[in-house]
Structure 1
Amino acid sequence: MGKRNVHVLQKGEGWTVAREGSPYLGAYYRSFDAALDMGACLAARERVELFVHAAEGTEGATAPPRDRAM
């Protein structure tokens, strides 16, 4: 099986990290920073790309400032 990219997704009031093609979402994070850190860690470990989705269903939109907790 090929390597699957990692996605950081906004979910309700928080954020989640998911692997591409997986029907399951990862852990739920209240802050963007926590989700981004976990996504970056997973992507680096798996040597895949990290995609950040700012709102449900959108890719590449501006993410909230890193110092602002959701």
Structure 2
Amino acid sequence: MYYEDYELKDIYEFNKKMLQYMLWYNTERPHHSLNKKSPLQYFCDIINSNKSEFSQTGMTYTQIRLSFL
């Protein structure tokens, strides 16, 4: 997405497109630095791996609920 395409004429539309891009970038786009996973998938994998560690130690954990627009 290039801002020249919108020329910042409609700030509402620009913000809407920017939010869509940020959601895509962080929830769907694979990142090489994260072993070709999206940041969301990487985060969920960490949470899931920690659940088993917590259950083995008898510690409790707080479940994280993720919601998107």
* TM-score, normalized by the shorter chain, greater than 0.5: no
More strand by share: 1
Higher RCO (CA < 8 A, seq sep 6+): 1
The TM-score, its normalising length taken from structure 1, stands at 0.29
The TM-score, its normalising length taken from structure 2, stands at 0.29
